[in-house]
Structure 1
Amino acid sequence: MSGRLQGRRAIVVGGGQTPGATTGNGRAVVLSFAREGAQVLVVDRDLDSAEESAELVRKEGGTATAHRADITVEDECAGILDAALAVLGHVDVLHNNVGVVPAGRTEDLGAQTWRQGFEVNLTSMWLTCKAVLPHMRQRRSGAIVNISSMAGLLAGGEAIAYTTSKAAVHAMTRSLALEYAPHGIRVNCIAPGMMDTPMGVDAPARAEGSSREDVAAKRAALVPMGHQGTCWDVANAALFLASQEAAFITGTVLAVDGGFTLTSRMS
C-alpha cells in the first residue's frame, strides 16, 4: 500500500457482491480504495452484501461502513450523502458501480425493459451525482468515477437498450465534467470490456445453461490481448482516476478492455 487515497473519504455505490459469485468490480474497488488509505461508505441494495465488503476491509485494518440504499429512489440517494457525512465527515470521492443488462432486439424489446435499463444504468447514477455534487461544490473539491461499459462505445442491435444507456452515461459524464470543472470537481468514466466478473461471465453462463469455463473461454477469444480482464483491472483504473495522480484529467471515458473496442462490435 502506498497511501494514494490516504485521508480521503469515498462512497462506493454498488460495493456489495452477488452471493456465491467471484469478486466483482464493486467489491474490488472497495478493497482497493481502503488499502490505499480511504475511509469507505459501502452502498448496496443488499445490506448484508455491503456489510460483507465492509467487514473484509475492517479485517485488513481499514475503515468501512455499510449502508443500504435503492439508488433508483431519489430520497434514498439523498440519504447516501447524509450517511456519508455522519460516518465520514465529508466526501472526496463518489464511485458509481451499478448496472443491469437489458437484452433484446428492438422489435422484441418491451418498453418496461427499456425503461428499466435507463432507470438503473443512467438515471440512478445521475441521482447519486446530484445528491453529492452540492457538497463537493461547497468544498471546491471532489472526484466522481462512473462505471459504464465498452457497450457504450459500440453498436449492438440485440442489446440496444444496454448500448444506448451506456452511451448516455458517457455523455452525462462529459457534461458533468464540463459543468463542475470550475468548482474543482473531476468527473470521469471507465468502460470495461470483457471482464471475468459475475455480470460478465456468471450471469451469461446461467442464462445459456453453459459452464462458466466455456463462457469465459469464448469471451477471452474475442479479446486482442487473448484473455479477459478482472475486477482488479477496473479497480486499478478507478483508483487512478480517484487519486491526485489524475488531478488534470476530467471528462474522459477510459476503456479498460484489452483492445476489444479497437476491432469489434457488441454481439
Structure 2
Amino acid sequence: MGQRVAGKVAVVVGAGQTPGQTAGNGRATAVLLAREGAAVLAADRDLAAAQDTVAEIEAEGGKALAVQADVTDEDAVAAMLATCVERFGRIDILHNNVGVSIAGGDAPITEIEADAFARVTAINLQGMVLTCKHAIPVMREQGGGVITNISSIAANINYPYIAYRTSKAGVVTMTEHIAIRNAEYGIRANAILPGLMDTPMAIENRVGLGGATREQVIAERNSHVPLRNKMGTAWDVAHAALFLASDEASFITGVALAVDGGQSLAVG
C-alpha cells in the first residue's frame, strides 16, 4: 500500500469490466487508487462486476464500496454521487472511465445508424457531463477536487468509426471547459487518451470479426504501436490516472495526456 492519495475519496465510474483475460482500465485504476490509500466508490452498470473490483480491493486491505449506476440515467448518476458523500463524506477524485464503440453499434459515417450514434454519444460523452454536473458542486463546496476523464487517441488519428471518435474528441473539449471554468474553485480536470490497449473491451469485441482469432487481433494491434511494437495495459492508464489524481500533479489542469506508446506521433 502506498500513500500518494492517502485519505482521499475516489469515485471510479466504470470500475467493473468486460470479462476477459486481462484487467480493464476502470478496474485497474480503482485497485491502484485503493493501493495508494484512497477509499474507492466503484460504480458500474453491472453491479456484479463492480463487486468483483471491490472484492479485489478488500482482499488487499483497501476500502471500497460497489454501487450500480448507468451513466445514461441522470437520477442514477446523482444517487451514485450522493451515496459517496453519505458513506465517505466527500468526493476528492472523480474518474470517468465509461466508453463504448463497436458494442454500441458504431460504424463509419456512411453506415452509422442514428440510434447507434445517439447511444454511443450518450454513454461516452453525455454520461461524463452528468457525472461532472453532480460532482462539481460537491468539490466546489469542499474547496477542490480532481476530475480525470478517459478519452482516446482515436480523437486525433485515422479512426474509422464516427461516433467513438466524435464523442471522445468531445471529452477533451469538455475537460478543457471544466478545467478553466473551475480553476478558481481549486478543481483540476484532465483527460487521458489511451492508445491501443490490451484490455477485455478492446480485444474481446474484435475476436471473431472477419474470422480473426485472439492471437491475430493482438498481433495486428501490436503492429501499430511504435514503442516496442506492443500494446499498453490497463495498468499504464491506471498509473497515469494515479499521477493526475495525486498532489504531484497539483499544477496540472486542462491537459490531454496521450498514453499510447507513440502511436499518435506515427503520421503517414
Distance 1:184 1:101 in 2: 33
CA distances 1:58-91 after superposition (whole Å, capped 9, x unpaired): 0100000100011101111100111101221111
Deviates more, 1:74-83 or 1:200-209: 200-209
Residue 166 in 1 paired to residue 168 in 2? yes
| CA-based RMSD | 1.2
On the 8 A contact 2:96/2:128 being kept in 1, the answer is yes
- TM-score, with length taken from structure 1: 0.96
1:7 aligned residue: 7
Structure-to-structure mapping, 1:88-99, within 5 angstroms? 88-99=88-99
TM-superposed CA distance for 1:18, in Å, is 1.5
Give the equivalent residue in structure 2 for 1:211: 213
* In structure 2, C-alpha distance between the alignment counterparts of 1:130 and 1:21, rounded to whole Å: 34
Shift, 1:212, TM fit: 1.4
Which range is displaced more, 208-217 or 70-79? 208-217
Q: Deviations over 1:105-138 (max 9, x none)?
A: 2121111111111101100010000010000011
State the alpha-carbon separation in 1 of the partners of residues 210 and 96 from structure 2. 28
Q: Mean alpha-carbon deviation: is it higher for 126-135 or for 78-87?
A: 78-87
**Which residue does the alignment assign to 1:133?**
136
Deviation at 1:162, TM superposition (A): 1.1
1:6-62 Cα shifts (integer Å, max 9, x gaps) = 000000000012234421001000110000000000000011110010011001000
Corresponding residue SS for 2:10 = strand
Matched AA of 2:110: E
What does 1:142-161 align with in structure 2 at a 5 Å threshold?
A: 142-156=145-159, 158-161=160-163
Tell me how far apart the structure 1 counterparts of residues 89 and 21 of structure 2 sit (CA, whole Å): 33
1:64-103 alignment, distance < 5 Å: 64-102=64-102, 103=106
Structure 2, gaps ≥5 residues long: none
- Equivalent-residue separation in structure 2 for 1:181 and 1:209 (angstroms): 49
Q: Give the SS at the match of 2:207.
A: helix
1:52 is the counterpart of 2:52: yes
SS state at 1:204 partner? coil
Residue 63 of structure 1 aligns with which residue? 63
- The residue type paired with residue 242 of structure 1 is A
Partner of 2:123: 120
Instruction: Tell me the distance in 1 between the aligned counterparts of 2:183 and 2:258.
Output: 22
Identity %: 48
* Comparing 237-246 and 103-112, the one that deviates more: 103-112
- Deviation, 1:264, is 4.3
Structure 1: 5+ residue stretches without partners: none
How many aligned positions are there? 264
